[in-house]
Amino acid sequence: MSDGIAWIGEHSTTGTSTPMPGMLGRISLTCARGVDADEFLIALGADLDELAARTPCKDLVLPSGRPGDPSLDVNRAMYGTCREWVYVLEDWGMSTWSTGFQSVPSMWPAPGEEIVCLTMNPWSPPRRIIHVPGDERPRQAEFGTDTEEGSALDAALHAAGAVFPSVGEAEEAAVVAYYEEHGPRLPVAVFTAVGHYCGLSIDQEAVRAGELPAVLIPMV
């Protein structure tokens, strides 16, 4: 339980020129509690047989066929559980839940189901925090801000230094200078805050080696 999840933020800009058996850089995280782990993955689009197989990510076979075949439009999702949370890791750039929860009925959180999502959005900035605390109402914030709800998650973001000054609180030049100086540490601060809030720890080496189970999730 010593890894936490700050390491995900540390590698948020890490790329790789060759495929790796697992994941390391540019990982988006979705975690949920109050829902069965398999049910959450099925809601994301996981195949029942593939889910039952519990195939390690390193052994997951990607589909092959003609370019443009809709069956090829899938992404790897590595998953696990920690405490009362199920977590899903994706390194294709975004979180599938974040792209689909507003349009795919199965992804909408049920009453009592809490979701915390960190989606990196490299092609459609900004990076976002989405929090549904159990009441079916999503709160969203860009990295560097909080959800303005005064929640325990917001408190964790402030405690980790993940909430930066904004125009209105300080002069624009001072805000720009702050972001230039401290911006590189922001992903680490955000993942640290979410790790503390959820009590979440994910083994970096297991993720990198692809030892955790994985499924293929259709693109939404």
- Note if the bond before 126 is cis, omega within 30 degrees: yes
- The per-residue pLDDT for 1 is 40
Q: 35-49, 54-68, 106-120: which has the minimum mean pLDDT?
A: 54-68
CA distance 113 to 95: 18
Q: pTM of whole model > 0.85?
A: yes
Domain residue limits, the chain: 6-218
pLDDT single digits (tens) 147-172:
999 999 999 999 999 999 987 788 88
Q: How far is CA 74 from CA 87, 90, 91, 92, 112, in A?
A: 18, 11, 12, 10, 29
pLDDT over threshold 90, residue 51: yes
How far is the first Cα of the chain from the last one, in angstroms, to the nearest whole number? Answer: 33
Contact 128, 116 (CB under 8 A): no
Q: How far is CA 28 from CA 24, 43, 51, 99, in A?
A: 10, 18, 20, 12
pLDDT over threshold 60, residue 209: yes
